[in-house]
Amino acid sequence: MAELDVEPVEEIEDVEVSVPSGVDAPEYVLYGGKGGVGKTTMAAATALASARDGTRTLVVSTDPAHSLSDTLETPIPGEPTQIRDDIPLFAAEIDPDEAMDEGMFGGENPLGGLEGMFGGAGGAGDGGPAGEEAEDGLGDLLSGGSMPGADEAAAMRQLLQYLDDDRFDRVVIDTAPTGHTLRLLELPELMDSMVGRLMQFRQRMQGMVEGMKGMFGGETPEPGADLDELRERIEHLRAVLRDPTKTDFRVVMVPEEMSVVESKRLLSRLAEFEIPVSTVVVNRVMEDFADVAGGDPEDFVSPDVENCEFCKRRWQVQQGALSRSQELFRGHDVKRVPLFADEVRGERMLELVAACLD
């Protein structure tokens, strides 16, 4: 087997590269793609560069398998916390289990105490007066139950909270792998449908509730009194995600066939939800750093695609995948990040990645 022909280097810190200060991006930047393509790396690098010019930046991970702490080489709590003293860089890793414990809406149930009627925990189930709503598992969702996607629902609640947080000028999000992300993006449409049915049910119940007030000798809360507020929150999140002046969903891929297929599928689904995608990041490309972002190639370990048989074959695989990706790239700003010999973690390596994304 041919040996990898590379030049060892003592320190990568000697790389002469223009480290970006600031980021040309809207208020919200989301990185998505197949699991393991480097979304966390891109999010951390973007957030670091964003905070360097004084922009108060929050980087959030919603991936159940967190690696943001490892990438930034510092513990990341579950709530937004400033992790650097010299720049306004904040970070949080959302724990889906803890978020689910708090319920979909953080304690207040928009059913106004009528969750049992919708088949929730301890509710009437399929035999309850909500009928079809119970069959859909609506009560389980609203009461923080375990219907499919509940972890994404809880993460979305916290995400919406951070999007509205005046403490931050920019929010960078490392999303869960593609399947989880798509379910999260589907949730506003699903919830909108559910809320619509609930509001119809509330109207049918209104007369009965009015009659109950006298029976209890006082005022009875209107069922579902918070549903209007819930609808507004859902519509607000949808509007933010669809506004290209506020949100850029960046698709991350690697130059391999399966990643290309997954990225095409993700772009298609995002288009269905009218989520703007202006940038496609191709990670781990077997190119010289100088060809991607400038700098002194003598200080960077690059694959020898001329003399190393292994490197040559891998480069051919990558070229084939990139060639088949031309349609995917059309209309998008394509950023390339080279394959690094060193593990991408810590400030210096993230600065190099940020230079490629600049």
Q: What type of residue sits at position 120?
A: G
* Confidence band, pLDDT 50/70/90 cuts, at residue 318: very high
pLDDT score at 117: 37
Q: Looking at the predicted structure, is the pLDDT value of residue 167 above 90?
A: yes
pLDDT score at 226: 60
pLDDT score at 358: 84
Q: What type of residue sits at position 208?
A: M
What pTM does this model have?
0.76
pLDDT score at 31: 92
Q: How many CB atoms lie within 10 A of CB 183?
A: 17
In a domain, 118, yes or no: no
Question: Which tokens is 253 given?
Answer: 């891929």
Section 260-265 average pLDDT: 92
Section 50-76 average pLDDT: 90
Q: Which three-class secondary structure state does DSSP give residue 23?
A: coil
In a domain, 31, yes or no: yes
* Confidence band, pLDDT 50/70/90 cuts, at residue 113: very low
Q: Looking at the predicted structure, is the pLDDT value of residue 109 above 70?
A: no
- Supply the angle between the helices 150-163 and 227-242 in degrees, to the nearest 10: 80
In a domain, 342, yes or no: no
User: What's the CA gap between 46 and 172, in Å, rounded?
Assistant: 7
In a domain, 127, yes or no: no
| 276-288 residue pLDDT tens | 898 999 999 998 8
Q: What is the mean pLDDT of the chain?
A: 75
Phi, psi angle pair for 6, to nearest 5°: -130, 155
Task: Identify the residue with better confidence: 271 or 125.
Answer: 271
Q: The CATH number of the domain where 291 resides is what?
A: 3.40.50.300
* Confidence band, pLDDT 50/70/90 cuts, at residue 10: very low
* Confidence band, pLDDT 50/70/90 cuts, at residue 300: confident
User: What's the CA gap between 144 and 141, in Å, rounded?
Assistant: 5
| 250-261 residue pLDDT tens | 999 999 999 999
In a domain, 37, yes or no: yes
Find the domain containing 208 and state its range: 24-104+144-337+347-357
In a domain, 135, yes or no: no
User: What's the CA gap between 42 and 45, in Å, rounded?
Assistant: 5
Section 116-139 average pLDDT: 42
What's the start-to-end Cα distance of the chain, in Å?
A: 38
Cβ within 8 Å of residue 261, ≥6 positions away:
none
Bridge partners of residue 228, in order along the sequence? none
Q: Looking at the predicted structure, is the pLDDT value of residue 52 above 80?
A: yes
In a domain, 15, yes or no: no
Domains: count for the chain:
1
Question: Which tokens is 123 given?
Answer: 């509710």
In a domain, 287, yes or no: yes
Q: Looking at the predicted structure, is the pLDDT value of residue 39 above 90?
A: yes
| 171-203 residue pLDDT tens | 998 886 666 666 666 766 676 676 667 666 766
